[in-house]
Each structure stands twice: as C-alpha cells, then as structure tokens.
Amino acid sequence: MRTIERDTVVDAVAKLCIDANRYLPADVRRAFEAAQAKEDNPVAKEVFRQLLENADLAEKSGLPLCQDTGLAVLFVEVGEEVAVNGGLRDAINEGVRKGYADGFLRKSSCDPMTRANRGDNTPAIIHFDVVPGDTLKISFMAKGGGSENMSRVTMLAPSQGYEGIKDFILDRVAEAGPNPCPPILIGVGIGGTFENAAILSKKALLRELDDTHPDPETAAKEKELLQLVNDLGIGPMGLGGKTTCLAVKIAMAPVHIASLPLAVNIQCHSARHKEVTL
Ligand SMILES: O=C(O)C[C@H](O)C(=O)O
C-alpha cells in the first residue's frame, strides 16, 4: 500500500482550483479561435475577440476568468493500493479551502435555506471511483451557477429513444438561451439511474473538446447534436451567430428495461477544469 502525505493532496487541489479558474484550457482557446474565424456576424466575431482578450487578461493579471468561480466539483479516481494520511476527503476539502483563499476566488457555497455563505467554498462536491493501481487522479471542475441552473435531468419513456433525447436537448438549449453564457459545452448522460445519468453528464464535460468518442455511432450522434444545436443560431453570449456550442459529449450506462434516464449538463464557455495524477 502506498501512502500519500495529506499536504501533497492539499497543495495539489489548491493549485487545481487556482489554475483552472485563471487559465483558459488550450482546447477551449483553439475552439474560440476557430469559431472567431468562422463567424460572419460582426457581433459574434467581436464576442470571440473579447473572450480571447479576457483569457489573456486573466493569465497576465492573475484574476479569474469569471467572477463566478463556481462550486468545486471533483472526480477522483482512487487506486486500490493508495491511502492518504488523515483521509482523502478531508484533504480535498482543505485543498479547496486553501485554493479559493490563496487565489482570491469568490466563495459561492451557501446554505440552501438561509443562504448564509459558508465562507470557504466547501464542502466540495466529490465523486469517488475506485480503480486498480496505486495512484490518485484528481479532476477539478469549477461549476458556475448560471450554467448549472440551465441543466436538467428527465426520465424519458424507452420508446422515445434517440428522437426523444434529441428533442429534449434542443428544447433545453433553446430555453436556456443566453443564460449559461454560450458558446456552451453540453454533457449528455444517457442511461443508468436518475442520479447516475446526472453524474455521467457532468463527467462527460471533462473530455477534450476535440476528442472523438471511441464508439463510432455515439461519435456520429455527438457530431449531429452539435450541428443541430448550432443551427439554433443563439450564438456567442446569445447575441446571434453560428457558434452556440463548442462540443457535445455523451456518456452512457446500461439501464433498467422500463427506463431511459437523460441528463443534460450545460457548461459555460470558460469550461474551467484541470487534472492532476499523484
Ligand atoms: O453567480 C454569478 O456570478 C452569476 C452566474 O454565474 C450567472 O451566470 O448568472
């Protein structure tokens, strides 16, 4: 059994929180540049210019990309042969506390009823997965309120199939309009159970924007859905244009014979996430 010191995890998580909120991922920057070149609408072009300028300013100044630095969502792959001194969950929460304080990131976590701010952006939302090996892979995502509010889970009838899935996604994006700060990323969770679909849809957002799903049929659906969403014409920041969405990522799981759970998790254009393996 390998042991990792608590401080190693705390420092690594703190750095993930700060870096993810400060540096636009390289794949997102490439997507902005490609979209800017493709847009004919001068307003849409200008929005991309401003988004790229915002990313440069954040990098140079050390300020976050957006005032909404999100709830801290972490997907953690824990090797069966690794342990963390003092406990992994506690170390992750301490890392979030440190990252949000040291990076001067807004603390958005509050009591759902009294709305009293908890002051340190904890507890983090942590999804653990036990895997073979002796390493710890920690993926951090800053999930802003605006885009999370536009996300939905539904239980379709199995007979609704792919057509029902398509309709639900398109209706959701149309209804969301400018609220999730387009161009968005769409994570789609299909199958499993109610909660499983929601987690799959969020985890799908961790994929590289320009990767291709290993299953060719699913890859074709991602491409088709991206085109259909972009045909809505909502455009960057909802001001019209060809680029409403940068990528659609699907994750699926086997399902009960009577069910077809579907989750649509919308992420804003900044798509802040970062990973580390310890
Ligand atoms: O909480 C915020 O700063 C704003 C929010 O992310 C929003 O999109 O309205």
155 within domain boundaries: yes
DSSP one-letter code for 159: G
Using one digit for the tens of pLDDT, what is the confidence trace for 202-230? 999 999 999 999 999 999 999 999 999 99
Say whether both 195 and 137 belong to one domain.
no
| 52 part of a folded domain | no
CA 205 vs CA 46, 140, 141, 154: distances in Å: 26, 11, 9, 19
Q: Encoding tokens for residue 123?
A: 């507890």
69 and 106: one domain?
yes
**Residue 32 domain-assigned (yes or no):** no
Domain end among 89, 112, 143 = 143
In this prediction, residue 190 carries a pLDDT of 98
| Residue among 67, 184, 270 to mutate when testing ligand 1 (max atoms within 8 A of CB) | 67
Is 237 part of a structural domain of the chain?
A: yes
Mean pLDDT over residues 144-167, rounded?
A: 98
Minimum-distance ligand 1 atom for the alpha carbon of 146: 8
Asked, for residue 29, whether it belongs to a domain, the answer is no
Tokens 């060719």 label which residue? Answer: 216
Q: How far apart are CA 252 and CA 256, in angstroms?
A: 13
Band (pLDDT 50/70/90 cuts) for residue 88 is very high
On whether both 229 and 240 belong to a single domain, the answer is yes
Does residue 58 fall inside a structural domain?
no
- Give the model's pLDDT for residue 257: 98
- What is the layout of strands, in order, in the sheet containing 260-267? 152-156, 260-267, 184-192, 245-255
The atom number, within ligand 1, closest to the CA of 181 reads 8
Task: Tell me the HSE value of 33 on the side-chain side, using a 13 A CA sphere.
Answer: 9
Ligand 1 closest atom vs CA 268? 8
Ligand 1 center to 90 CA (angstroms): 28
Q: What is the pLDDT of residue 140?
A: 98
> What ipTM was reported for this prediction?
0.92
**Binding pocket residue ranges, ligand 1, CB within 6 Å:** 67-68, 144-146, 181
What is the longest distance spanned by two Cα atoms in the chain? 58
53 vs 60: CA distance, rounded Å: 11
**How many angstroms separate the alpha carbon of residue 68 from the centre of ligand 1?**
5
Tally the domains of the chain: 2
User: What is the residue whose two structure tokens read 């398509």?
Assistant: 166
Structural domain of residue 177, as residue ranges?
A: 146-272
Same structural domain for residues 132 and 87? yes
How confident is the model over 172-209, as pLDDT tens digits? 999 999 999 999 999 999 999 999 999 999 999 999 99
Q: In this structure, what are the phi and psi dihedrals at residue 139, rounded to the nearest 5 degrees?
A: -110, 125
Same-domain pairing of 138 and 222: no
* Nearest-angstrom CA–CA distance, 105 and 199: 25
How far is ligand 1, taken at its centre, from the CA of residue 176, in Å? 14
For the CA of 108, the nearest atom of ligand 1 = 1
26-74 pLDDT, tens digit each: 999 999 999 999 999 999 999 999 999 999 999 999 999 999 999 999 9
* pLDDT tens-place string over residues 127-148: 999 999 999 999 999 999 999 9
Helix (H) or strand (E) holding 128: strand 125-131
pLDDT digit string (tens) for 91-106? 999 999 999 999 999 9
30 belongs to a structural domain: no
From CA 167, how far away is CA 1, in angstroms rounded? 49
Residue nearest to atom 6 of ligand 1 (CA): 146
Mutate to test the pocket of ligand 1, among 68, 106, 143 (most ligand atoms within 8 A of CB): 68
Q: Please indicate, yes or no, whether residues 184 and 248 belong to a single structural domain of this protein.
A: yes
Report the chain's terminal Cα–Cα distance, integer Å: 14
Question: Do 8 and 119 have their domain in common?
Answer: yes
DSSP readout, 82-126?
EEETT-HHHHHHHHHHHHHHHTTPPP--B-TTT--B-SS--S-EE
Is the domain of 203 the same as that of 78? no
- pLDDT-derived band of residue 159, with 50, 70 and 90 as boundaries? very high
Report the 3 state secondary structure along 16-36: HHHHHHHCCCHHHHHHHHHHH
| Bond from prior residue into 183 cis (ω within 30 degrees of 0) | yes
Tell how far the Cα of 146 is from the centroid of ligand 1, in angstroms.
5
Question: How far apart are the C-alpha atoms of 42 and 156, rounded to whole Å?
Answer: 40
Q: Are residues 175 and 95 in the same domain?
A: no
Cβ-based neighbours of 123, under 8 Å, separated by 6 or more: 93, 109
Domain shared by 92 and 131, yes or no: yes
| Among 94, 126, 143, residue at a domain's last position | 143
pLDDT, mean of residues 246-254: 98
Confidence band (pLDDT; 50, 70, 90) for 262? very high
Integer angstrom CA distances of residue 132 from 3, 80, 81, 257: 15, 5, 7, 30
Residue 191 CA to ligand 1 center (angstroms) comes to: 30
